[in-house]
Amino acid sequence: MSRLTLISLQLLVALVALALWQLLATVPIFGRMWLPPFFFSTPVDVFSQVISWFSTGVIWKHLLITLWESILAFVLGSAAGVLIGFWFARRPTVAAVFDPYVKMTNALPRVVLAPIFTLWLGLGIWSKVALGVTLVFFIVFFNVYQGVKEVSQTLVDNGRMLGMSERQLMRHVYWPSALSWMFSSLHTSVGFAVVGAVVGEYLGSAAGLGYLIQQAEGVFDVAGVFAGMFVLSVFVILIDIAVSLVERRLLVWRPTAARD
């Protein structure tokens, strides 16, 4: 299938779905409205909401806040994950001691932490960042831990025979290997950073996309909820594209990255 036909078909799916939605929400069929606008809104209303957000510019503030929270959550969570993953992998005793607590914390559904973070850190961005960090940290941590543990013994021996000291082994063998594992989970961890930010906002905040959706829901503004969801998914897709670009640059040496 050529690229053009593929894109046309993809667009067709969206058009049919939207047309059906608009039809069922505005034209009564067999004497009843199948998608009552009060509950389902209409595509036209949703898009006019989106357009008014962008034309008045109110959306930018919320987008920026969510973006900022996601970036902070990602950076802090990754940094902690890399450092602690690295440490645990190189110190098996430490890893063994902390193992049950790591598993326990990871098993906890993160949403229940949100109220605690709000209590500790307030309604501002830091409670959302903290929620995102708890999500990102574990993904990066497990990947880096695994990555350092599974560095091929031949590579380590080769490094030693080439004259590397322990520090040089860290820098030239363990570290690149750990980072490559972190990058391989980039899509997931960035995605979770956004989830943490939005869920945090939804549960209590004064700005952000999650706040916008929650506010609309509070006044039964279904068009607002859908518009918020739409902006959010476009936002996530754009971030994902950015991550793919970064990934392609960072992982040139990886056979899988080159094939993609």
**Which residues contact another protein (rule: CB under 8 A)?**
152, 154-155, 157-165, 168, 172-173, 176-177, 180, 252-255, 258
Q: Measured between alpha carbons, how far is 82 from 89 in angstroms, rounded to an integer?
A: 10
Please name the amino acid found at residue 214: Q
Q: Which is nearer to another protein, 104 or 161 (CB)?
A: 161
CB-based contacts of 58, cutoff 8 Å, min separation 6: none
235/243 Cα distance (integer angstroms): 12
Between the alpha carbon of residue 179 and those of residues 94, 106, 141, 156, the distances in Å are 21, 21, 11, 16
Structure tokens at 125: 């961005």
Q: How far is the CB of 172 from another protein (least distance, A)?
A: 7
Minimum distance from residue 149 beta carbon to another protein (Å): 17
The three-state secondary structure class of 29 is strand
Shortest distance, CB of residue 83 to another protein, whole angstroms?
20
Of 46 and 89, the one with the shorter C-beta distance to another protein is: 89
To the nearest whole angstrom, how small is the minimum distance from the Cβ of residue 162 to another protein? 5
- In the complex with another protein, the residue whose CB is nearer, 174 or 226, is 174
71 or 164: CB nearest another protein: 164
31: region left, alpha or beta (phi > 0 left; psi from -120 to 50 alpha): left
How far apart CA 213 and CA 107 sit, in angstroms, is: 28
Q: Least Å distance between CB 79 and another protein?
A: 20
Q: Minimum distance between the CB of residue 99 and another protein, rounded to whole angstroms?
A: 23
Buried/exposed 177-198: b ≥16 CB within 10 Å, e otherwise: bbbbbbbbbbeebbbbbbbbbb
Residue closer to another protein by CB (options 116, 162) is 162
Q: Which is nearer to another protein, 146 or 165 (CB)?
A: 165
